[in-house]
Amino acid sequence: EAEVAQSPRYKITEKSQAVAFWCDPISGHATLYWYRQILGQGPELLVQFQDESVVDDSQLPKDRFSAERLKGVDSTLKIQPAELGDSAMYLCASKVAGEETQYFGPGTRLLVL
Amino acid sequence: GDSVTQMEGPVTLSEEAFLTINCTYTATGYPSLFWYVQYPGEGLQLLLKATKADDKGSNKGFEATYRKETTSFHLEKGSVQVSDSAVYFCALGGYNKLIFGAGTRLAVHP
């Protein structure tokens, strides 16, 4: 069964450093999402892509976060510089355009020291 | 804006007990409703969904009915197992983002 792949699974960094997360969606899924899940809370959308275009990045802290999906397939989320409050699980999800069900990857757990 | 409210956890049950996790929502349109489950250290897995009022979603013994009149989508299971221990998230959405509740942790002991 096809799955959303994410790497790394765990990342420990010091504040002010740069970090990057990678996501490979299920093949054929044109829509890709990045969510942030703070411990004890539900996931919240950071950015949504349709192919290579950003559909919604209204909740992305653009002073330090950036996301790209250059060829409309895999995607990278970057944080520079990382802050203590960025410690969270970063989840990638994908879906077929025009359908509702999103499929989630295993997530990258980030700890900023 | 749209929002989801779930009952606070943790919910602690004995094996074979009946489970209910309450979920209510506020939405301007007619969203689809979802239950996702998250096992320790893992991402979210879709458990079930319902796309319109009075629809019942079901999977692995879990059920939830989309109640428009009470704006609710409560999750139920007749007999829980230890392996059901996880965090359960109610969510609403459609063709764009999902809006999640805070999650309810379920612990089932033998």
Q: A2-53, pLDDT tens digit by residue?
A: 899 999 999 999 999 999 999 999 999 999 999 999 998 999 999 999 999 9
pLDDT of amino acid A91: 96
pLDDT of amino acid A111: 97
User: Could you tell me which of B75, B42, B5 has the C-alpha nearest to residue A104?
Assistant: B42
User: Inter-chain contact A91–B43, Cβ cutoff 8 Å?
Assistant: yes
Which residue out of B2, B25, B97, B99 would a mutagenesis test of the A interface target, given it has the greatest number of A Cβ atoms within 10 Å? B97
Residue B104, pLDDT > 80, answer yes
Nearest to A100 among B4, B41, B93 (CB): B93
pLDDT in tens, B42-79: 889 999 999 999 999 999 999 999 999 999 999 999 99
pLDDT of amino acid B21: 97
Cα–Cα distance list, B43 to A32, A111, B12, B19, B47 (Å)? 15, 17, 22, 22, 12
CB-based contact, B92 to chain A, within 8 Å: no
Paired residues of B91 in beta bridges: B34, B100
**Angle (CA) B72 B78 B83, round 5°:** 100
User: Inter-chain contact B103–A42, Cβ cutoff 8 Å?
Assistant: yes
Mean pLDDT, chain B, whole residue set: 95
User: Could you tell me which of A91, A90, A100, A95 has the C-alpha nearest to residue B91?
Assistant: A100
Residues of B in contact with A21 (CB under 8 A): none
Residues of B in contact with A43 (CB under 8 A): 44, 89, 98, 100
- Choose between B45 and B40: higher pLDDT: B45
Residue A1, pLDDT > 80, answer no
Which residue out of B98, B99, B100, B105 would a mutagenesis test of the A interface target, given it has the greatest number of A Cβ atoms within 10 Å? B98
Q: Are B72 and B7 in contact (CB under 8 A)?
A: no
Residue B97, pLDDT > 80, answer yes
pLDDT band of residue B4 (cuts 50, 70, 90) is very high
Q: Which residue has the tokens 């740069």?
A: A18
Distance of CA B34 to the CA centre of its chain: 7
pLDDT in tens, A92-113: 999 998 889 999 999 999 999 9
How close is the nearest chain B Cα to the Cα of A111, in Å?
14
How close is the nearest chain B Cα to the Cα of A103, in Å?
7
Q: List phi, psi (to 5°) of B6.
A: -115, 155
Spatial neighbors of A14 by CB under 8 A, at least 6 apart, are A82, A112, A113
pLDDT of amino acid B29: 83
Query: Span B82-90, mean pLDDT?
Result: 96
